[in-house]
Amino acid sequence: MGLFEWLVMPFGLANAPATFMRLMHEHNNLYANFSKCSFGETSISYLGYIIDAHGVQVDPVKVEVLFKWPTPSNITELRSFLGLANFYHKFILHYSNIATPLHQLAKASVAFKWTKIHSRAFNTLKEKLCSTHVLVQLDLSQPFEIETYASQYALGAVLKQNGHPVAYHLEKISSAKRNYSTYDKELYALVKAIKYWRHYLLGKETVVHTDHLPLQFLQS
């Protein structure tokens, strides 16, 4: 039957970047298609994002699709909306908390019944997506700032530099941790944020902003 081999790089290939670079270095019959190349661009659309000198932001085309999305009438339509919204969750503060009712309704074990709570969450998500912040490129020479929050169902944090968001961290709270006291939830949000961005924060000056008064005395 002959020899079967890959003509294109398969998804999930171990060491794919190294394999590709070795191919580039060892063969001389690879060419770039000039009609598919762009030079001197100040802004580019890449994998659903717009990247420019100011940072990374959502693609307006994708946002328009979400903004015009009709109210879901069944679980399949809801899951489709959440799939696209989840792609941009890193740009939305409090995303987990806002989307919790919709995620609960999207479960196979729950009967699909659209209520005012779901409409409010649905419309809020669309509004947030249309007013997202630009995530600036981080500067390792500058100090960091962390803002955290915790609610009954979710926790989140914002990593900032010079007042501009660099990244968001969002996480749903498990049923067991929902029994934590308010103090423990707020502290848990701070701990998770520091662990999540440890590779940036280690050895760096970092300021933590919190609206929970007891956390001010954490170090003493």
The CA distance from 92 to 71, in Å, is 20
List the beta strands (DSSP E) in 8-139: 43-46, 49-52, 55-58
What global pTM score does this model have? 0.62
1 against 87, higher pLDDT: 87
**Mean pLDDT, the chain, as a whole number?**
85
Report residue 153 CA to chain centroid gap.
Answer: 18
The CA distance from 188 to 148, in Å, is 10
Instruction: List the 55-58 sheet strands across, edge first.
Output: 43-46, 49-52, 55-58
- The pLDDT tens digits of the residues spanning 170-194 come to 888 888 888 888 888 888 989 999 9
The CA distance from 78 to 103, in Å, is 9
- The pLDDT tens digits of the residues spanning 99-158 come to 889 988 999 888 999 999 999 999 998 888 777 677 888 888 889 999 888 888 788 888
The CA distance from 22 to 153, in Å, is 48
Torsion-angle region of 61 (φ positive above 0: left; ψ -120 to 50: alpha; else: beta): alpha
- For residues 96 and 154, is the Cβ–Cβ distance under 8 A? yes
